[in-house]
Amino acid sequence: MDLSILTFILLFFTGLLAGFVDSIAGGGGLIALPVLLSIGLPPQLALGTNKLQGSFGTLSATINFIRKGKASLSDNMSGIAFTFIGAVTGAWAIQQIQGGFIRHLIPFMLLFVFVYTLTAKDLGSVQRRAKMGKNMFFMIFGLLLGFYDGFFGPGTGAFWTGALLILLGLDMTTATGTTRIMNFTSNIVALAVFIIGGNVLYSAGLTMAGGQIIGARIGSGMAIKKGAPFIRPIFLTMVCLTIARLIYVNYI
């Protein structure tokens, strides 16, 4: 597929904006995917290309959070392992069955995350007592959210951040950094599935990836520096926009 120079410029800056937003609060796909569809890519090719460019953004943000001591690979190895297993299963399952039921259920689950985060004023501002053990948490949510990201995807970052805040009691910055690690894990699995299926446009995906790397580095740096007061409103906004998009797609 031949793309013009202006299209490549559009894709680069779209990737930059998506990477910035996604590294802070998730939801970068809300920005990137409509643009990929608007330039004429078929849905499957757009989804695969979106996973390619998004993987670079989550990797860039993950590295920044780890370097600044706000996320740790060694502390989250069980989460990575269970997320990988869940994502492989979900990516396989979506090719076998229809995802109609889960598409209708997700907006209401996200609404719970939105309302809980909005009403719990101190949520994420400080570290709180965990409500369940870390190993049990990662086994349950790694499998569930890994499966969901491989199976469907929208809102995965919001679910991870919400669960880490509510159940593990992490502060907002650490929860955001940990979310990026888990997102990168499930993104790579889904990307591999799309590559095997031949549904990635590399010219568009790598152009957006350049913007993603820059945007994610800037966004994650600001999230680390400014903390919960900066992350919280962006997180709530992106959850709200994700809910609106899913309701529009499913019911309107």
How many folded domains does the chain comprise? 1
Q: What are the φ/ψ torsions at residue 224 (nearest 5 degrees)?
A: -65, -40
Longest dimension (CA), the chain: 54
AA identity, residue 4: S
Q: So what's the pLDDT on residue 242?
A: 84
As given in the structure block, the two tokens for residue 27 are 């939801």
Which of 209, 181, 179, 240 has the alpha carbon at shortest distance from 14? 209
**Residue 99: pLDDT above 60?**
no
Question: What is the C-alpha separation between 143 and 68, in angstroms, rounded?
Answer: 28
Averaged pLDDT for residues 14-42: 90
Mean pLDDT of the chain: 88
Digit-coded pLDDT (tens) for 15-25: 999 999 989 98
Q: How confident is the model at residue 13 (pLDDT cuts 50, 70, 90)?
A: very high
User: By the 8 A CB rule, do 28 and 18 touch?
Assistant: yes
**Residue 215: pLDDT above 60?**
yes
Question: What is the C-alpha separation between 161 and 234, in angstroms, rounded?
Answer: 13
**Residue 57: pLDDT above 80?**
yes
Domain that holds residue 66: 5-251
- H/E run at residue 91: helix 77-93
C-alpha dihedral (143, 144, 150, 153), degrees to nearest 10: -150
Q: How confident is the model at residue 96 (pLDDT cuts 50, 70, 90)?
A: low
Strands (E), 34-157: none
Digit-coded pLDDT (tens) for 171-201: 999 999 999 999 999 999 889 988 988 889 9
Q: So what's the pLDDT on residue 110?
A: 78
Query: What percentage of the chain carries pLDDT values higher than 90?
Result: 49
As given in the structure block, the two tokens for residue 25 are 């609060």
Averaged pLDDT for residues 40-63: 90
**Residue 123: pLDDT above 80?**
no
Give me the sign of the Cα torsion angle 221, 29, 175, 84: negative
pTM, two decimal places: 0.85
